[in-house]
């Protein structure tokens, strides 16, 4: 046997003894790649389980995060001026102020609806039993007053016709509807309370949370990850600020017409219109109700029509041009992407999509600009 063959046989025997020794002492250790894959798989499973567990509270947590990101600069100014700097006490006071701003318009609207609910039920019962007389305000309609009166007499004034027209509804169903809405209201109030609680926690620990998020993004994506977070923060603040500014502007612009047209409780309708302007089609309901109340309480039909027409013009201009322009400018998004983000997010995610949509568009644009077209020398 040659020296080479002897050396090879000796190495084989040595390796066999080493393998046998390791097998006797325990299983072979995993390589770095296998460990990494195992950690990633385990982390994904935990994230999925966490999201599934918190699924009922995710909308509240997202709202709290949006508010915390948007209001953080204002919170710092408030805490520095009135509370001697950020602190748990400052976070509590600021959260209470936010709660008052959010709850007051909602409470006003619920109170107004609750006041009219019994009248609505009583009117509904009378309509089924004796028909509905043509209201005086129908004759004051600026357009199609005569044809509206004829339709009303044919379909609503006759008890039989009114019963046939309203046969799909009854007072019990309407009562059940109010009961269901009451249950939903309690549920929504609980979620609002949880959002405010999460907002307080984020404000109290804002710097630590932000530091952890940036550190995580830096480890996962490098320097480009921090830039992505900054773009998303800018888009969130721009969307919230744009929404508030446009809602206030629309509410004031429409509210001035309430006073000129002689709308009853004009100040109340102004507050409701401003608050509901932050909700899709909310302001439309407010100024439409104002127009109906105006004409039904003896006001001019032309005044009611002017309220509706002016409100429509303001809302169309504000929602479709002013709002996307403000968001696109502050978030440094092209107008088309801001428009798609706002209304596409609304269609895909509901109300919260108004804010999530532009954030997604900003993240997508940032990734496209900095990750794909970033020079290799900067990596």
Element (H, E) at 280: none
For residue 323, what pLDDT is reported? 82
CA distance 195 to 279: 18
Upper half-sphere CA count for residue 153 (Cβ side, 13 Å): 8
DSSP 30: P
Could you give phi then psi for residue 74, rounded to 5 degrees?
Answer: -65, -40
Query: Closest by alpha carbon to 358, among 369, 343, 342?
Result: 342
CA distance 293 to 191: 33
Query: Closest by alpha carbon to 358, among 251, 227, 276, 241?
Result: 241
CA distance 15 to 3: 18
For residue 191, what pLDDT is reported? 81
Using DSSP, state whether 165 is helix, strand or coil. Answer: helix
For residue 96, what pLDDT is reported? 92
Residues 6+ apart with CB under 8 A from 351: 279, 280
Chain segment 102-135, per-residue pLDDT in tens: 777 666 666 666 665 565 566 566 666 666 666 6
* CA 65-71-72 angle, 5° bins: 85
Residue 93 class from Cβ within 10 Å (0-12 exposed, 13-18 middle, 19+ buried)? middle
> How many C-beta atoms surround the C-beta of residue 144 within 10 A?
11
Residues 6+ apart with CB under 8 A from 71: 94, 98, 203
Distances (CA, A) of 120 to 61, 127, 162, 172: 37, 10, 16, 13
* CA 34-36-37 angle, 5° bins: 65
Element (H, E) at 187: helix 171-204
DSSP 29: P
Length of the chain as a residue count: 379
Write out residues in the chain with pLDDT < 70, as ranges. Answer: 1-35, 105-145, 149, 151-185, 187, 330-331, 370-379
DSSP assignments along 328-375, one per residue:
HHHTT--HHHHHHHHHHHHHHHGGGHHHHHHHHHHHHHHIIIIIISS-
DSSP 138: G
Kindly give the residue spans of alpha helices, DSSP state H, lying in 205-352: 206-221, 223-261, 266-276, 282-296, 301-317, 323-330, 335-349
Measured N-to-C along each axis, helices 282-296 and 301-317 cross at an angle, to the nearest 10 degrees, of 170
DSSP 28: P
Chain segment 273-283, per-residue pLDDT in tens: 888 887 777 78
């Amino acid at each position: 046997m040659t020296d080479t063959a002897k050396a090879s046989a000796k190495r084989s025997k040595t390796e066999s003894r080493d393998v046998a020794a390791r097998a006797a002492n325990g299983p072979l250790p995993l390589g770095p790649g296998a460990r990494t894959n195992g950690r990633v798989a385990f982390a994904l499973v935990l994230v999925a389980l966490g999201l599934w567990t918190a699924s009922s509270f995710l909308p509240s947590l997202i709202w709290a995060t949006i508010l915390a990101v948007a209001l953080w600069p204002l919170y710092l100014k408030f805490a520095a001026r009135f509370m001697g700097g950020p602190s748990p006490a400052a976070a509590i006071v600021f959260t209470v102020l936010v709660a008052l701003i959010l709850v007051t318009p909602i409470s006003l609207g619920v109170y107004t609806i609750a006041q009219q609910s019994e009248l609505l039920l009583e009117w509904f019962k009378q309509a089924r039993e004796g028909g509905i007389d043509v209201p005086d305000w129908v004759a004051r309609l600026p357009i199609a007053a005569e044809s509206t009166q004829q339709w009303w007499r044919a379909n609503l004034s006759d008890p039989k016709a009114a019963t046939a027209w309203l046969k799909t509804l009854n007072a019990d169903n309407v009562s059940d509807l109010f009961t269901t809405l009451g249950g939903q209201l309690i549920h929504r109030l609980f979620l609002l309370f949880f959002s405010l609680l999460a907002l307080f926690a984020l404000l109290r620990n804002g710097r630590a949370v932000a530091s952890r998020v940036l550190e995580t993004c830096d480890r996962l994506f490098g320097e480009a990850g921090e830039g992505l977070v900054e773009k998303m923060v800018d888009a969130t603040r721009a969307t919230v600020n744009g929404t508030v500014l446009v809602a206030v502007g629309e509410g004031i612009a429409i509210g001035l017409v309430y006073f000129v047209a002689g709308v009853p409780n004009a100040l109340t309708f102004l507050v409701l219109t401003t608050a509901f302007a932050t909700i899709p089609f909310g302001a439309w309901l407010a100024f439409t109700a104002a127009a109906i109340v105006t004409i039904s309480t003896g006001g001019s039909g032309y005044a009611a029509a002017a309220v509706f027409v002016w409100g429509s013009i303001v809302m169309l201009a504000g929602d479709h041009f002013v709002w996307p322009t403000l968001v696109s400018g502050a978030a440094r998004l092209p107008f088309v992407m801001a428009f798609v983000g706002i209304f596409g997010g609304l269609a895909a995610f509901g109300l919260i999509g108004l804010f999530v949509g532009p954030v997604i568009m900003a993240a997508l644009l940032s990734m496209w600009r900095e990750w794909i077209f970033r020079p290799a020398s900067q990596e």
